[in-house]
């Protein structure tokens, strides 16, 4: 987890915006923002600067940027480039050289290529939209989820998960959230004439990271975060 004191060994992607002045970043050469030699500028989309950092983050660079522009408010989102069961996206607010962790949310990912051919891409997309809606409602109970097992589960070696079933007359999926972010997806076909579900066997899988599919970059003026950044 990123914080103000610990330097991370993982590779991180960063999305950076200036909340108080949407035009500011466009006037700054992104190379002048980078202080970490392992960081590089990737792209600018709709006023958002994207960076990639090997073995670390852009945290110190953005702290320095906020000191250079002490009257401005910067928002940065950090995403671990490696995926695992507890992948999260963290949002920080920067002003006058100080930073505050304002939000942590799961970085959902899943594999569906093994069932796409049988069920169909459009049906899978609709099914996963429904499943994710319910999973996100459950996660919304805690705005800053703990990425580790709670004390009871750890002490007694208990594993827990949440499964959402979505089906129509012909197909069904079981979407099981494991850890903070991984969603295991199983697909089923209804057999006829016997009304029972037949599991679709797994083959090669393609990983889908939910937030990579989002193509929104709007600002929620009621909050301190940019909730709709593409990651």
Helix (H, G, I), strand (E, B) or coil at 165: strand
Rounded Cα gap, residues 159 and 149, in angstroms: 8
Output 159-163 pairs: Cβ under 8 A, ≥24 positions apart: 162/135, 162/138
Domain hosting 153: range is: 113-205
pLDDT, tens digit (0-9, with 9 covering 90-100), for 184-201? 999 999 998 878 999 998
Same domain, 132 and 174: yes
pLDDT at 8: 52
Of 107, 135, 159, the one marking the end of a domain is: 107
pLDDT band at 149 (very low <50, low <70, confident <90, very high): very low
Does residue 45 lie in a domain region? yes
Same domain, 118 and 194: yes
Please report, rounded to a whole number, the percentage of residues in the chain having pLDDT higher than 90.
Answer: 53
pLDDT, tens digit (0-9, with 9 covering 90-100), for 52-75? 999 888 999 999 999 999 999 999
Whole-structure pTM over 0.85, yes or no?
A: no
Query: 31-69 burial by CB neighbour count: b if 16+ within 10 A, else e?
Result: eebbebeebeeeeeeebbbbbebeebbbbebbbebbeeb
User: Which of 45, 20, 14, 44 is CA-nearest to residue 30?
Assistant: 44
Does residue 26 lie in a domain region? yes
Q: What are phi and psi of 109, to 5 degrees?
A: -150, 155
Residue 36 structure tokens: 């970490």
Does residue 176 lie in a domain region? yes
Same domain, 70 and 122: no
Does residue 43 lie in a domain region? yes
Number of domains observed in the structure of the chain: 2
Does residue 7 lie in a domain region? no
CA–CA distances in Å: residue 192 to residues 174, 186, 196, 200 = 20, 20, 8, 15
Same domain, 50 and 103: yes
Contacts of 140 (CB under 8 A, 6+ apart): none
pLDDT, tens digit (0-9, with 9 covering 90-100), for 42-51? 999 888 999 9
In the chain, DSSP assigns E strands to 12-18, 39-45, 48-53, 74-80, 88-95, 98-106, 109-111, 161-167, 171-178, 182-191, 196-199, 207-209
């Amino acid at each position: 987890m990123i914080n103000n004191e610990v330097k991370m060994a993982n590779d991180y992607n960063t999305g950076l915006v200036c909340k108080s002045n949407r035009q500011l970043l466009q006037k700054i050469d992104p190379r002048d923002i980078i202080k970490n030699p392992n960081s590089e500028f990737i792209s600018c989309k709709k006023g958002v600067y994207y960076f990639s950092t090997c073995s670390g983050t852009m945290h110190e660079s953005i702290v320095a940027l906020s000191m250079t522009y002490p009257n401005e408010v910067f928002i940065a989102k950090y995403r671990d480039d490696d995926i695992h069961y507890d992948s999260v996206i963290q949002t920080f607010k920067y002003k006058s050289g100080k930073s505050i962790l304002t939000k942590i949310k799961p970085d959902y990912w899943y594999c569906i290529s093994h069932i796409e051919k049988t069920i169909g891409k459009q049906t899978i997309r609709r099914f996963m939209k429904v499943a994710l809606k319910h999973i996100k409602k459950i996660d919304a109970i805690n705005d800053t989820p703990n990425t580790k097992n709670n004390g009871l589960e750890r002490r007694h070696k208990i594993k827990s998960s949440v499964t959402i079933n979505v089906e129509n007359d012909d197909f069904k999926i079981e979407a099981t959230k494991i850890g903070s972010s991984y969603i295991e997806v199983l697909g089923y076909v209804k057999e006829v004439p016997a009304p029972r579900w037949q599991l679709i066997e797994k083959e090669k899988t393609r990983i889908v990271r939910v937030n990579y599919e989002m193509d929104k970059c709007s600002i929620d003026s009621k909050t301190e975060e940019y909730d709709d950044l593409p990651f």
